[in-house]
């Protein structure tokens, strides 16, 4: 007699932040959670990041995990976790008044994106004749950069190159990824400091992120303090 298969998938819906596309997903099961735990035990950042992408591929329908932005992955993961293990996350947060470590509960339904990614202006004007069409770099690109030991400066330049979708001139639209690495580097090197700063500001400031902002009361000094969390690492 065959063993029964438990927990037939119940599908839920979510909206991918970067595209506004609605997709169906199911909670992750023990077989997927085991992959996450094994990756966590390895203390290998790249393995952990890859395991999150595998989880998304297994549980979310009609989505290519390699095309997801980093904030897409953060948002999807928190939705998967809420349906799989519960909406509340138990965290420790230090009171800014007395440094007491407070145990707090964060309801993941109160976690939101910092901005609407679909409304971000992705055009940067460099000169009267040349503009850049930008994009949000993908989580997969971050995975490929992790543990490469290239150094912070090299990694920054790689992220910037990954964030340029096209160079727009009066006559044509040149897809940046279609150009060879030498020509890409030559273009970046030809920028003025002010032009380069416009690109770095887009990468640093326009990328949405998960955020949670709520006032709690310290269990020791009884003072109110704000809990401000940003990005996936702050939540888990």
User: For 171-215, what is each residue's pLDDT tens digit?
Assistant: 999 999 999 999 999 999 999 999 999 999 999 999 998 888 899
Asked whether the predicted pLDDT for residue 7 surpasses 60, the reply is: no
pLDDT of residue 121: 96
User: Is 174 among the domain residues?
Assistant: yes
**DSSP letter assigned to residue 16:** -
Between CA 229 and CA 65 the distance in angstroms is: 25
Per-residue pLDDT at 1 exceeds 70: no
143 with 168, same domain: the answer is yes
Q: Are residues 162 and 183 in the same domain?
A: yes
Structure token pair of residue 115: 């901005």
* Statement: residue 100 has pLDDT above 90: yes
In this structure, is residue 3 part of a structural domain? no
86 and 62, same domain (yes or no): yes
Q: In this structure, what DSSP letter does residue 182 have?
A: H
Is residue 96 domain-shared with residue 71, that is, in the same domain? yes
pLDDT single digits (tens) 110-168: 888 999 999 999 999 999 999 999 999 999 998 888 766 667 788 889 999 999 999 99
Has residue 2 been placed in a domain?
Answer: no
Ramachandran class of 201: left when φ > 0, alpha when ψ lies in -120 to 50, beta otherwise: alpha
Same domain, 16 and 105: yes
Number of Cβ within a 10 Å radius of residue 9:
11
Residues 55 and 104 in one domain: yes
Three-state secondary-structure class, residue 213: strand
Ramachandran quadrant class, 88 (left: phi over 0; alpha: psi -120 to 50; beta: rest): beta
Residue 68 structural domain: 12-110+216-235
Is residue 7 domain-resident?
A: no
**What pLDDT was estimated at residue 72?**
96
Q: What is the rounded CA–CA span in Å between residue 190 and residue 156?
A: 17
The pLDDT of residue 6: 55
Across the range 93-115, mean pLDDT stands at 91
pTM value is: 0.84
Nearest C-alpha neighbor of 147 from the set 51, 54, 45: 45
Please tell me whether residue 193 adopts helix, strand or coil conformation: helix
Average pLDDT over the chain reads: 90
Helix/strand/coil for 169: coil
Domain tally, the chain: 2
Q: How confident is the model at residue 5 (pLDDT cuts 50, 70, 90)?
A: low
pLDDT at 233: 72
Does residue 211 lie in a domain region?
no
Whether residues 41 and 105 share a domain: the answer is yes
Same domain, 93 and 126: no
What is d(CA 174, CA 153) in angstroms, rounded to the nearest whole number?
Answer: 26
Domain presence at residue 116: no
Q: Please tell me which residue, 150 or 170, carries the higher pLDDT value.
A: 170
156 in the same domain as 101: no
- Do 30 and 86 lie in one domain? The reply is yes
What tokens appear for 184 in the block? 């890409």
> 100 with 128, same domain?
no
């Amino acid at each position: 007699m065959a063993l029964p298969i438990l927990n037939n998938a119940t599908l839920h819906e979510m909206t991918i932040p970067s595209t506004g596309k609605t997709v169906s997903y199911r909670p992750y099961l023990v077989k997927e959670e085991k992959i996450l735990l094994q990756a966590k035990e390895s203390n290998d950042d790249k393995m952990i990041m890859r395991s999150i992408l595998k989880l998304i591929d297994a549980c979310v329908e009609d989505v290519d995990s390699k095309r997801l932005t980093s904030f897409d992955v953060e948002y999807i993961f928190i939705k998967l976790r809420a349906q799989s293990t519960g909406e509340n996350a138990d965290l420790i947060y230090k009171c800014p008044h007395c440094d007491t470590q407070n145990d707090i509960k964060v309801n993941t339904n109160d976690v939101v994106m910092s901005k609407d990614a679909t409304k971000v202006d992705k055009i940067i004007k460099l000169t009267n004749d040349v503009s850049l069409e930008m994009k949000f770099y993908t989580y997969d690109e971050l995975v490929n950069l992790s543990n490469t030991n290239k150094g912070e400066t090299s990694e920054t330049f790689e992220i910037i190159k990954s964030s340029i979708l096209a160079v727009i001139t009066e006559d044509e639209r040149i897809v940046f990824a279609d150009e060879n690495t030498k020509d890409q580097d030559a273009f970046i090197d030809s920028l003025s400091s002010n032009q380069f700063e416009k690109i770095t500001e887009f990468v640093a400031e326009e990328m949405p992120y998960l955020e949670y902002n709520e006032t709690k009361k310290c269990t020791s000094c009884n003072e109110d303090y704000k809990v401000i969390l940003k990005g996936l690492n702050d939540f888990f």
